[in-house]
Amino acid sequence: MVKQFKGVTLECLQGNITAQRDITAIVNAANAWLRKGGGVAGAIHSAAGPGLEQECRPLAPIKTGEAVITGGHNLPNRFVIHCLGPVYGVDKPEPILLGNCYRNALKLAEQNKIDSIAFPAISTGIFGYPLAEAAEVAVKTVMEVIAASKLEHLKLVRFVLFGQQDLRVYEEVFSRLMPEK
Ligand code: AR6
C-alpha cells in the first residue's frame, strides 16, 4: 500500500529488509551490543558481512530507544541505522521507547541527507511487542515527525513486513490514519 503524506511517500509491503535495493538506509532491530543475533539483526549482519560488526563495536552499547548509523558494507544500501527497541513488558513505557526508535532513526536520516529509509517492525519479534500496537506507534510517530516538517531530505519511508498477516495489520493502520480524501 502506498500513501502520500505532506510530500513524503509512505509505503508498507511484505518482504525481507535485506532485499530493499532501491533504499538508501535500512533500519536494524538491533540488540544493545550491536552484535549479530537473530531475526532482522541476524539477516542484516549475514548480508552485510563481518565488516558491519567491526564498525558497530565502538558504537556499542546503545540504550533502549537510541539509534546509531553505520555503512551498509555488502548490503545494497548505503547506510544501516541500528535501533534498540523495548522488550515488551520490561522496558517501560513501551510506546514512548518504541516511538523514540523511529524518531531517532529519522533524525539520523535527516542529518545524513538520506532520501529513503526502510523500517522493519522493531520489537515485534524476539522482544514480544504485539504487532498491532507496535504498528500504531510506528506509523503515528513517522507521521508526527513528517508533520513537524523537520525533514528536508526524506522522500520515502517504507515499512517492510515479514508476514502477510503483519502487512494486513499495517494496511489497516495506513487506511485509518491516512484515509483517501
Ligand atoms: N526482514 C523483515 N522483517 C523480518 C526479518 C527480515 N529478514 N526477520 C524477522 N523479521 P526481531 P526484535 C520481522 O526479532 O523483536 C535479535 O536477535 C519479525 O517477524 O528481528 O526487535 C536482536 O539481536 C518481527 O515482526 O526484532 C535482538 O536481540 C520483526 O521483524 C532482538 O532480536 C522484528 O523481529 C530484537 O528483537
Question: What's the CATH number where 124 sits?
Answer: 3.40.220.10
Give the total number of structural domains in the chain: 1
The overall average pLDDT reported for the chain is 97
**Cβ < 6 Å from ligand 1: which residues?**
16-18, 29, 31, 37-41, 43, 85, 120-127, 160, 162, 166
Dump pLDDT digits (tens) for 58-72. 999 999 999 999 999
**pTM of the entire predicted model:** 0.98
CA 100 to chain centre: 11
Find the domain containing 98 and state its range: 2-177
Q: Which atom of ligand 1 is nearest to the CA of 160?
A: 2
The alpha carbon of 180 and the centre of ligand 1 are apart by a number of angstroms equal to: 31
Dump pLDDT digits (tens) for 103-137. 999 999 999 999 999 999 999 999 999 999 999 99
Q: Does residue 18 contact residue 47 with C-beta atoms inside 8 Å?
A: yes
